[in-house]
Amino acid sequence: MNEPLNILPQYKILPEPKLLFRDSNIDTHPLRGLTNYGPYSASLGFPNEVRLAYFAPSDSLKKLDSIIVELNSSAIPKEALNYYLQYDGFQNIFRIPLVEPDNNLRFEAPEECVKYARARDGDKLVDIIMHSIGKILKERHSFDVLLLYLPETWKNSFEYEGFNLHDRIKAKVAPIGLTIQIINDVAFERNCRANVMWGLSVALYTKAGGIPWKLADLNKDEAYIGLSYAIKKLREGNEYTTCCSQVFDPDGTGFEFVAYDTKEYETDSRGNPYLRYQEMQFVLSRSLLLYQGSHGGRVPKKIFIHKTSHFTDEEIQGAFDAFSDGTEVELIQVVRGTNWYGLKFDKSGRRIIPANYPVDRGIYQPISKTECLLWTQGSVMDVNVANSSRPVFKEASLKPLPSPIMLRRFSGQGGWHDTCSSVLALTKVDWNNNTLYKTMPATLVYSKVFADIVKQAPEIVNEIYDYRFFM
């Protein structure tokens, strides 16, 4: 930087991103918007119901019944009362019924599952589960989402070195087009039932093809790509990397994934992979085709590409050559951990005193020509359902001061407003949770999820997958 750190450009504050619900109604609070207006895709007429199937040990099928009873009932929140609303039941919120399965859609897990789980033989356990799911596919036309219960008696095989049961199952069912909701005992044991029901209901609605909400203000001529990497080893010990690309657009049709095995790459001292020119060009050219496939061949006027590591010169050149001159390319490294903090002060007469709440979410502070701090955590006004005059600081119970993320720009023109606005908005479209926002944008949240799952099944490459298979 050319200037000392005590002389920084003026900071700016972005408004909390707005969300669209049924009939173009707008709210900044996702659960309040669902309660008051209904989900966005209700205006489009889909889905018109959410039909369930079960897969669980025979003595646990009734536990899944109890979850459905709760989903169709109401629950009063006991945690984060400034944010969570009363859960009013699935049909009241989503305006469609949640249909519990008939007897022919209640599938029992084979007894051998317990044996392999206790023996810590995750591969055999998955084989048995997938064999059973093969039978379930005969009834695929009769249900939308499969509830798959992993009981505590299988915990010995939930996760160990080189194996993750949750991710392995997701990786196996994606290629056969099956959306599943994995349930474990946490769903039955958490004290705040409203919290659990909000999370499960949003996830089930989304996995059945619904769009709970979408972003109101993103530019429809722009698209967003998140890149993550999965380092894998062959049996003979050789390593290679798979680049996982996730494309999102503001129309609500985004969140599509594709993974590519890349042979030409290098790693830094921390093991982060960096692609050679041709590999980066290929990855992004395929990502562009993915976008065009759902947009009638149209090319975005601007594309933002996010990853958590820096862009090398070869990656930058490969990215530019993947797009035509009519598309502006902005390359952004998103760094989650920084040593920066912000303190908020108020005026009291002539005195300056510490504020009662932390800095506002949405503040961005340029610190150089290529770096900007963005507070994706912080105080948010107009979402407090208990006291509308007070803000909500979601992380208050974990830490007193919100941390900013660092945006480091490797290409792109103009100021930081559009870049920060898009990243802030993308923290609100993770439909696999019920919170107000995530710290990182969905481009990177989901591409990392995809990369973690790809590690469990190296064969799922070069095919396009809807993100719903990996939620």
**Tens of pLDDT, residues 112-121:** 999 999 999 9
Q: Which residues contact 282 (CB under 8 A, 6 or more apart)?
A: 260, 322
Overall average pLDDT of the 386-407 stretch: 93
Which of 6-15, 238-247, 319-328 has the largest mean confidence?
319-328
Nearest to 29 by CA among 408, 276, 394, 448: 394
DSSP code per residue over 103-160:
GGGEEEPPTHHHHHHHTT-HHHHHHHHHHHHHHHGGGGGG-SEEEEE--GGGGGGTEE
Q: How confident is the model at residue 234 (pLDDT cuts 50, 70, 90)?
A: low
Helix (H) or strand (E) holding 283: helix 277-293
Overall average pLDDT of the 449-464 stretch: 81
Q: Is residue 465 scored above 70 in pLDDT?
A: yes
- pLDDT at residue number 232: 67
- pLDDT at residue number 236: 56
pLDDT in tens, 168-196: 999 999 999 999 999 999 999 999 999 99
Furthest CA-CA distance within the chain: 74
Q: Is 233 helix (H, G, I), strand (E, B) or coil?
A: strand
Q: How confident is the model at residue 297 (pLDDT cuts 50, 70, 90)?
A: confident
- pLDDT at residue number 252: 53
Q: Which residues contact 120 (CB under 8 A, 6 or more apart)?
A: 156, 157, 160
Q: Is 372 helix (H, G, I), strand (E, B) or coil?
A: strand
Q: What does the angle CA 168 – CA 65 – CA 73 come to, to the nearest 5 degrees? A: 115
Cα separation of 200 and 220, whole Å?
A: 30
- pLDDT at residue number 450: 85
pLDDT in tens, 69-117: 999 999 999 999 999 999 999 999 999 999 999 999 999 999 999 999 9
Q: Which residue has the higher pLDDT, 356 or 294?
A: 356
Overall average pLDDT of the 418-430 stretch: 95
Which amino acid would we find at residue 210? G
Which of 8-12, 367-371, 447-451 has the largest mean confidence?
367-371
